[in-house]
Amino acid sequence: MDMGAGGLLLLGCGKMGGAMLRGWLAKGLSPDQVTVLDPRPADWLCELQAKGLRLNVQPDTPPAIAVIATKPQIMGDAIPGIAAFGNGPTLFLSIAAGTSIATFEDMLGLETPVVRAMPNTPAAIGAGISALVANEQVTTDQLGLAERLLAAVGETVLLDCEEQMHAVTALSGSGPAYVFALAEAMAGAGQELGLPKDMALRLAVATIAGAGRLMMETGTAPDVLRDQVTSPNGTTAAGLDVLMRPDGIAELTRQTLEAAADRSRTLA
């Protein structure tokens, strides 16, 4: 993975930024092409300095890409330090939740190429999915670069417009928490049915992980897989009679995503 002249600047290297950097390094990005700006760098970043990574040193030349991975609440303090690279050849890739492209254009200049992305927490193990949307200043090559960087930590999808980011936030951005809540609920119900706590949790987690992997690896639609495991008048059918009723999982999920999307619009 070659960033070319200017290399890569990473602004903020917390959990998500750090996970992405680890993914890029694993894909062949050389540490000497990376500059990291972070007020509290982790020890492993300091160790990479021996391999050429520049830590908390402002680049002398515009980077090919600047990845913004700071928390939205400190964005106003962090961006001015790299604002000099706006309105130029540097592509700005933001993974900061809730921060619009217009906000970056205001801070960096209207001619600044900006890609806004929403990854999710499974990116920390290379199993995430990221949605991207770009402004008009982003070239085809720059968009391809952003996609390649995000592909290092999972799948990518391109949005038609920035308004869709609210739905993405509700579905895949917040979605892992819904799955974790489902695991909690399944484990709790299993415990009430007589299983030991640890065993119930192990069964719930393995079932969710295995079902997800089955969908991913087979490419079979969820409704088809559901039908395949459901025998008429069997135990699964009895459970689904409760889960699929009008006020069941479909309606509850719709309300859940709608609430999250509404909050995303409010925060924006």
- This prediction has a pTM of 0.88
Report percent pLDDT > 70 for the chain: 100
Question: Residue 6 has what pLDDT?
Answer: 83
Sheet bearing 8-11, strands edge to edge: 54-55, 34-37, 8-11, 65-68, 91-94, 114-118, 128-134, 154-158
Question: Residue 133 has what pLDDT?
Answer: 98
CATH number for the domain running over 8-164: 3.40.50.720
Q: What is the pLDDT of residues 233-253, one digit of tens each?
A: 999 999 999 999 999 999 999
Per-residue pLDDT band for 39 (boundaries 50, 70, 90) equals confident
Domain 8-164 and domain 173-267 have a common topology: no
Averaged pLDDT, 180-195? 98
pLDDT at 19 over 90: no
In the chain, the amino acid numbered 200 is A
The superfamily in CATH containing domain 173-267 is: ProC C-terminal domain-like (1.10.3730.10)
Q: What is the pLDDT of residues 167-187, one digit of tens each?
A: 999 999 999 999 999 999 999
* Domain range summary for the chain, segments of one domain joined by +: 8-164, 173-267
pLDDT at 26 over 90: no
Averaged pLDDT, 143-157? 93
